[in-house]
Amino acid sequence: MSAAPDDAPSAGRGRRAARLSGDDRELAILATAERLLADRPLAAISVDDLARGAGISRPTFYFYFSSKDAVLLSLLDRVVAEADTAMREVFGAPATTPRDGWARAIGTYYETFRAHRALTVAWARARSTSDEVRALWSEVFERWVQQCATAIDAERARGAALPGLPSRDLAVALTSMNERVLYATFSGDGPAIAESDVVDVLLGIWLSAMYGAQTPG
Amino acid sequence: MSAAPDDAPSAGRGRRAARLSGDDRELAILATAERLLADRPLAAISVDDLARGAGISRPTFYFYFSSKDAVLLSLLDRVVAEADTAMREVFGAPATTPRDGWARAIGTYYETFRAHRALTVAWARARSTSDEVRALWSEVFERWVQQCATAIDAERARGAALPGLPSRDLAVALTSMNERVLYATFSGDGPAIAESDVVDVLLGIWLSAMYGAQTPG
DNA sequence: TGCGTGTCTCGACAGCGTGTTGACTCTTTC
DNA sequence: GAAAGAGTCAACACGCTGTCGAGACACGCA
C-alpha cells in the first residue's frame, strides 16, 4: 500500500517543492517513457532521455528502475492485467451465437491493443531485444492459447465446431495470426489490413477454421 | 575458379570487381556471420567478432560492409532469391488438387525457412532494429501476398473457392499467420506448434478459410 | 537541539561498442 | 621505378550503459 503523500497539491508551476516524492518521480519516468515512445522506438530512447524527461539525472534513474527495459515491462504489466481481465470477462459470459462470442473476443483483443498502440508496437519490437519482455509475452500468450483451446473443445463437445486439428495447435496458430496481423496494422510497416476491416477478416478466418463456415448455426 | 571479371565497365552498383583476396575476405565475413548467428543473436555479435572471425581488424571490416546489418542483409538477399524462385515455381506449376497445390506452397515456404533457421530467426529479430531489414522483408512479404491473392481470385473464378473476404486481406492474414507461426516453431520462444505438425495445421486453416472445408473438392 | 537512519541525488568514472582518420604496405600497370 | 589504387590497421572521437562514493534531505527519537 502506498501512503498518500498529498502535502503537495499541484499548484501549477513554480518550484515550491524542493523535492518531489519518490512515487512522483517513478510516475514521471513512466509517463515520459510513454510519451517518448509515441514517436520513436525504444532503441532510439536513451536512459538519459528518460531521466531528463522526468527531471532527474541518469544515475538517479537507476534508483527507480534497473534498466530501460524495466520501464517498458512496468508499463506493460498494467496493460496485461487490463487485457487479462477483459478476456476473462469475454470467455466467462455466455454468447448468444458462436459468431457473436468470438467476435467479442477478437474485438476485445483488438481494442485492448489499439488503446495502447505505441506501447504495443514497442513491446513487439522489444521482444527481440529483451529476454524479460519475451518471457512476459510468452506467459500472456500461453494463457490466451489455453483459454482459446478450452473454448474450442467446448464447442466441439456440444457438436457445434467440427473436429479436426488438435485444439491447442489451432489456438496457437490463430492467436499467432491475430498478434502478427494486429502488429502490422498498428505499426504500419509492411502489408497490412485496414483498421476498419481487421476484426472482420480475423473473425472470418477463425470461424471457418473452427466451424467450417463463416456463419455457424 | 572465378569467372572472368567483367571487363565491361558498365554502370553497375555495388563493389567493383575486386581482387580475389578481397572477395575471399568478404566471403569470410559472411561465413563468420552465419556461423556465429547459429548460436547467438545478432545483438550479441559485435563488429569486432565478425572481423576477428574473418581474420581482419575492425576498421578493415568497414571496408567491406557499412555495418553489421549490411552483412545480414547480404546474407538474406540470397535466401530471398531462393525463396522467390521456389515460390514462383510452385505457383507456376498446375496442381492435381487444390489441397495438393496449397500444400506444396506452404511446404515450400516451410522448407525454405527451415533450411536457414538461424538466419530466419536473426532476420525476424533484426526487423525490429533495422529499417533496411524491415524494408526488405516488406518487399518480399508483399510479393507473396500478391501471388497468394491472385491464386485465391483464380480459385474463386473457377468456382472452387468460396467468395467472402477480400482476397488481399485474406492473403495478408494467412501469410502473416505462417510467418509468425513458423518463427515461433523455429525460434522456440513462446507457445509453438511442433515442427512435424506445423505444415498440416497451417494448411488446414488456409483451406477452410478459402474453401470452407479442409478437404475441398 | 542534536543525532541517527534511510531515502534520494548526482558528479565522476570505468567499460564497451560504433564508426572514422590518416598513414602505411602491398600489387598492378605503364 | 613511379604512380595509382586496393587493402590494412593503430589510434581516435563519440555515445551509451551501469556503478560508486560522497553527499543532501526528511523524519523519528533522545
Q: Is-contact A211 A98, C-beta < 8 A?
A: yes
A79 CA to D22 C1' in angstroms comes to 40
Amino acid A202: pLDDT: 98
CA B152-B154-B159 angle, 5° bins: 95
Residue with cell 512515487: A23
Amino acid B1: pLDDT: 35
The DSSP output letter for A42 is: G
Q: Is-contact A190 A184, C-beta < 8 A?
A: yes
A50 CA to C25 C1' in angstroms comes to 48
Chain A CA closest to residue B188: A138
Facing A197 at nearest CB: one of B41, B125, B169 = B169
Q: Is-contact A80 A133, C-beta < 8 A?
A: no
Contact list in B for residue A204 (CB cut-off 8 A) is 164-165, 170, 209
pLDDT tens digits for range A170-187: 999 999 999 999 999 999
CB-based contacts of A17, cutoff 8 Å, min separation 6:
A8
**Closest listed residue to residue B198, CA positions, set A24, B206, B38:** B206
Amino acid A78: pLDDT: 84
The DSSP output letter for B3 is: P
Q: Which residues of B touch A (CB under 8 A)?
A: 41, 43, 124-129, 134, 137-138, 141-142, 145, 164-166, 169-170, 172-177, 179-181, 184, 189-193, 197, 200-202, 204-205, 208-209, 212-214
The dihedral over CA atoms of A133, A136, A137, A143, expressed in degrees to the nearest 10, equals 180
pLDDT tens digits for range B104-151: 999 998 999 899 999 999 999 999 999 999 999 999 999 999 999 999
For chains A and B, count residue pairs whose Cβ atoms are closer than 8 Å: 132
Amino acid B214: pLDDT: 65
A134 CA to D30 C1' in angstroms comes to 53
Please report which confidence band the pLDDT of residue B78 belongs to, taking 50, 70 and 90 as the band edges.
confident
Contact list in B for residue A142 (CB cut-off 8 A) is 190-191
Please report which confidence band the pLDDT of residue B18 belongs to, taking 50, 70 and 90 as the band edges.
very low
Other Cβ atoms closer than 10 A to B178: 26
Report pTM: 0.87
